[in-house]
Amino acid sequence: MNAYDEYMKGIVRPMRQELVDAGFNELTTAEDVNEFMASAKGVSLVVINSVCGCAAGLARPAVRQAIEEVKPDHLVTVFAGQDREATAQMRGFFEEVPASSPSIAVLRDGQLEYFIPREQIEGYPVEQITEHLTGVLKQACAQ
């Protein structure tokens, strides 16, 4: 591993840990994604994590707050720009939406039910994103 890769691993460690500490399972390889998607029954919340400021200040805090109120069956995350193969593999399961990070997907039995792209995260107050996601999760988990 070169010095840049080592440096980036150190930088993103707390960004990864924030979601792991909230109960998310980190999928770091394409195989991890395939295994998860092959067995994902019920409602899954997928966070495509990122190093950007809107992930740190908006997406991750909103997700953590939303799942305190409504917890889906599965919580998983891939890290864009870091775990490239895993992120590409996950995005392949919902190709109908443009790639975006950070972003949040709600799946039912592995099928995309709802998607919140970066454009609906960046520039919005964390409370509004939390409310949006909480409403989506309430509806998805009630079915």
User: Which residues belong to the active site?
Assistant: 52, 54
Question: Cα(first)–Cα(last) distance of the chain, in Å?
Answer: 46
Q: How many CB atoms neighbour CB 109 within 10 A?
A: 12
